[in-house]
Structure 1
Amino acid sequence: MTDARAPYASDPRRSRGRRTPEPDSPTRSAFQRDRDRIIHSGAFRRLQYKTQVFVYQEGDHYRTRLTHSLEVAQIARSICRVLRLDEDLGEALALAHDLGHTCFGHAGEDALDACMAPFGGFDHNAQTLRILTKLEKRFADFDGLNLSWEALEGVVKHNGPLVHADGRPLKDRALPVAITEYMAEQDLELATHAGPEAQVAALADDIAYNNHDLDDGLRAGLFRLDDIRDLPLVGELLRGVEAKYPGIGRERTAHETVRALIGRMIDDVLTETRARLAALNPASVEAIRHHHRPVVAFSEKMAEQDRALKAFLWSRMYRHDRVNRMTSKARRCVRDLFGLLLAEPQCLPGDWARRAEGPGTPRTARLVADFIAGMTDRFAIEEHARLFDISVMT
């Protein structure tokens, strides 16, 4: 039987292995095993109550980090299949990409990053690596999930290289502490691009995020169908749905428009990626890693339309007064929790308190950041009440 993978796809039989060597599974490939370990992790289960934009109690029909991750995985797997990449690795990376997010979405991350500024900051991608290599404590032989090199590389570099060839960070700020610490144990080659499956997962995240925030914004009444008529591509697809299905109602019209937009974006990724692959003609996955630009990408026209959609969502959804009020509360909640627990680590529960070094130290700060980053929205709200409301005694 011939291998259906393209020569430039990641091949689990040629994986660079795991930090702690393990016998191969007789029934699963290395990347299937990675995916399964992610799904069975505690961090993955907690995504059910970590929100994208709306806090969990605002309604059962809005996306959470869990439903978003599943949607990203579906898109990533579909694209990988058409491009003859390794579907299991693409799915694993999609399922893992948001594990490091805090409670309360980006508002929670921004607040925690500000709190951690004196201690190296906080970055959700680096926190994902920390979860996968250290914080999950389920196995007898190692901390973390002991994923393959390819999975860890994809998590860290799915948005592109992190350093120049000489090791200087590409961004103004230093590399996150979690990444520099792990690099001392295993080289993830931060100056190169990730493999194609990770690049697919990154685009699948972009497709899912924008389209489903558009859907949730319409559902929440933050804007109306008439407000998106002038958006490039979106308005065209909306008018096409209305012409084909007159009178089907607002909800069905919104769904059909979002559905058409997802399909158009996936088709564009496939067309542009095939063109880039044809031009590069890579004989191996390493050729893709060392190429000067991503191989999986939107066309320039679609990238421009995607930017217009992002700008619309930024102004009409993420900066809506209803969202602003909730994110303001969320930031205060995270700041309060961090400040109290850093100053009084004895208020941490159980083993967390035993592992604290003392008030105000860098080690305690990172411990508190790990604790808060792992919270769901619900737990953070309840923990804030337990620590600050004198009438709550448990």
Structure 2
Amino acid sequence: MAEMEWSRLLDLEPLYRPDRKASPRRPAFDQDADRITFSAPFRRLANKTQVHPLYDHDHIHHRLIHSVETASVGRSLGLEVGYWLEEEGKIAKGGQAIVAGLVHAACLAHDIGNPPFGHSGEAAIGAWFAERFDRGEGLFCDRDACFAEEFEAFEGNAQGFRILTRLEMNRPGGMRLTHGTLGAFIKYPVTARVRKSIAVHDGGLKKFGVFESERAELETVAARTGLIAGDATATWWRRHPLVLLVEAADDICYNILDLEDAFTTGDLGYGDVAPLLSEIAGFSPKDDRGDSLAEKIAVLRAVAIHKAFEACSAAFAENYDAIMGGRFAGALVSASAQAEHFAAIESLANERIFTSPRKTELEVMGRNLVHRILDGILPVIEALAAAGWQADGLDGYPRQLQRALGIDLRHARDPYSALHALADYVSGMTDRYAVKIAEMISR
């Protein structure tokens, strides 16, 4: 199997803008990061769940803070790996900054497509669509034409790619980020329908990462960055090497910081959290400084993050040939010297954090809110279909509802695109806005 080439992987040409000239004073990857940072979808992450829904505690992570912290760790990983690549002569001098910049930008955007209420929100959206497709009525009667599988397993990664390349700025190419940043962003370069036909282990494609509606953009990014085709049909691709650094930064942050949040909320005690962080950090806090327990946890967290990104950087170098050949199907955290310690954190999180009573109760509430909203706004889409997909043809209550809620129907031209407009609207909500809209439409 051929190997990917860094000269193509680090492509700094923007999507659909071959005429945009590079600035010698402002690198293209910095422009990518700025466009993401100043976008409305990124801003909305400030009121979207990381782990604990609708928490009033100021020190609990939400998606925006998580994204910023992940980007910080990602930049450090990029600098570390980029330095190694330069020293080994695998990239030209100056390439370190490009590697770090692309990973930083992709990390900023990595959760931009997440719906309200976190992963339980994804599951709620998917369950609602699955129920509708099971009935097979109206807009949901043709599973194949509507690519039902991508709605029934609604995926925030695919929604994120849709936002970046289509919805934001409402133009071809969306934000028009560089091919390199988009390649580093696409965690799973495959659509839902194609994903069903390939083996789970192939290329680490545990899920799908792109909707059929953005297939052309995926093909463009894959071609420009030189991703390796997964098979002779070239309908899916091996992952971009920098995806592994983005994924590692995310894994490091959510594992370690979920522990700190659980200590802050009282779901876990100091005796639960400190030993796990100490294993990664390589030391135990001393008792002679007069630090509070929270301060000790903070120190352990900081050192643990540093040790973890060092271990993941080393894992990238150790698995370099497999990564460049598209044969590395795992995660850097799992391939690193810290793998056992991260597995212990994940086990504790599954047993104690993700099943905490308050979190579970709010997930149930969030699921019901999402379903109520989708039920409440479906009549707008049905009325649009009856009006021949002409928004000007809406009248009565559907027109009132569309105006009151600001539902964007510009991309709704047939049943498939209309269902995406429905998912776009709901997945773009913040947690609190979802509560508000659910109350409005159920009165």
User: Same fold, TM exceeding 0.5?
Assistant: yes
Corresponding residue of 2:155: 123
Moved more, 236-245 or 329-338: 236-245
Match status 1:266 vs 2:263: no
Match status 1:297 vs 2:329: no
Q: Give the C-alpha shift of residue 134 in structure 1.
A: 1.3
Q: Aligned match of 2:70 in 55, 61, 72?
A: 72
Distance 1:23 1:213, change over 3 A: same
Corresponding residue of 1:210: 255
Q: Aligned match of 1:195 in 240, 244, 254?
A: 240
Counting only pairs closer than 5 Å after superposition, residues 352-363 of structure 1 correspond to structure 2 as 352=407, 355=410, 361-363=415-417
Q: Give the C-alpha shift of residue 167 in structure 1.
A: 9.7
Distance 1:79 1:194, change over 3 A: same
The amino acid that maps onto 1:290 is: G
Counting only pairs closer than 5 Å after superposition, residues 246-265 of structure 1 correspond to structure 2 as 247-265=290-308
Quote the Cα distance in structure 2 between the aligned partners of 1:177 and 1:236: 34
Quote the Cα distance in structure 2 between the aligned partners of 1:92 and 1:344: 36
Moved more, 19-28 or 159-168: 159-168
Distance 1:248 1:17, change over 3 A: closer
Quote the Cα distance in structure 1 between the aligned partners of 2:419 and 2:254: 31
Corresponding residue of 1:23: 20
- What residue ranges of structure 2 are gaps of 5+ in the alignment? 83-95, 134-147, 231-236, 382-397
- Secondary structure in 2 aligned to 1:60? coil
The amino acid that maps onto 1:369 is: A
Counting only pairs closer than 5 Å after superposition, residues 76-91 of structure 1 correspond to structure 2 as 76-84=74-82, 85=96, 86-91=99-104
Corresponding residue of 1:102: 115
Counting only pairs closer than 5 Å after superposition, residues 121-270 of structure 1 correspond to structure 2 as 121=151, 122-137=154-169, 142=172, 144-157=174-187, 168-171=197-200, 178-187=210-219, 188=222, 189=227, 191=230, 192-228=237-273, 231=276, 234=277, 236=279, 240-243=283-286, 245=288, 247-270=290-313
The amino acid that maps onto 1:368 is: L
Moved more, 79-88 or 306-315: 79-88
Q: Give the C-alpha shift of residue 271 in structure 1.
A: 2.4
Quote the Cα distance in structure 1 between the aligned partners of 2:282 and 2:217: 54
Q: Give the C-alpha shift of residue 370 in structure 1.
A: 0.5
Moved more, 85-94 or 302-311: 302-311
The amino acid that maps onto 1:180 is: E
Match status 1:387 vs 2:441: yes
Q: Give the C-alpha shift of residue 246 in structure 1.
A: 5.5
Match status 1:327 vs 2:351: no
Quote the Cα distance in structure 1 between the aligned partners of 2:160 and 2:57: 27
Verify the 8 A CA contact 2:155 2:209 in the aligned structure 1: no
Corresponding residue of 1:284: none
Quote the Cα distance in structure 1 between the aligned partners of 2:52 and 2:438: 19
Deviations 1:225-252 (A, max 9, x none): 1224664xx3546893333656422111
Q: Give the C-alpha shift of residue 384 in structure 1.
A: 1.1
- Secondary structure in 1 aligned to 2:440? helix
Verify the 8 A CA contact 2:195 2:208 in the aligned structure 1: no
Deviations 1:131-150 (A, max 9, x none): 01111126xx6451112222
Match status 1:365 vs 2:365: no
- Secondary structure in 1 aligned to 2:407? helix
Corresponding residue of 1:3: none
Q: Give the C-alpha shift of residue 196 in structure 1.
A: 3.2
Q: CA RMSD in A?
A: 3.4
Q: How many residues align?
A: 369
Verify the 8 A CA contact 1:49 1:65 in the aligned structure 2: yes
Deviations 1:285-329 (A, max 9, x none): xx9543311698234542232122111011111111111111111
The amino acid that maps onto 2:301 is: V
Quote the Cα distance in structure 2 between the aligned partners of 1:96 and 1:21: 22
- Secondary structure in 2 aligned to 1:364? helix
Quote the Cα distance in structure 1 between the aligned partners of 2:11 and 2:209: 30
- Secondary structure in 2 aligned to 1:371? helix
Quote the Cα distance in structure 2 between the aligned partners of 1:178 and 1:164: 10
Q: Give the C-alpha shift of residue 30 in structure 1.
A: 2.6
Moved more, 107-116 or 13-22: 13-22
Verify the 8 A CA contact 2:191 2:215 in the aligned structure 1: no
Q: Give the C-alpha shift of residue 177 in structure 1.
A: 8.9
Quote the Cα distance in structure 1 between the aligned partners of 2:330 and 2:119: 28
Corresponding residue of 2:388: none
Verify the 8 A CA contact 1:8 1:288 in the aligned structure 2: no
Distance 1:333 1:270, change over 3 A: same
- Provide the identity percentage: 25
Verify the 8 A CA contact 1:160 1:194 in the aligned structure 2: yes
The amino acid that maps onto 1:260 is: V
Verify the 8 A CA contact 1:337 1:384 in the aligned structure 2: yes
Quote the Cα distance in structure 1 between the aligned partners of 2:256 and 2:295: 15
Distance 1:14 1:213, change over 3 A: closer
Quote the Cα distance in structure 1 between the aligned partners of 2:196 and 2:258: 36
Q: Aligned match of 1:374 in 410, 428, 431?
A: 428
Quote the Cα distance in structure 1 between the aligned partners of 2:407 and 2:176: 23
| TM-score, normalization by structure 1 | 0.82
Q: Give the C-alpha shift of residue 354 in structure 1.
A: 5.0
Moved more, 375-384 or 76-85: 76-85
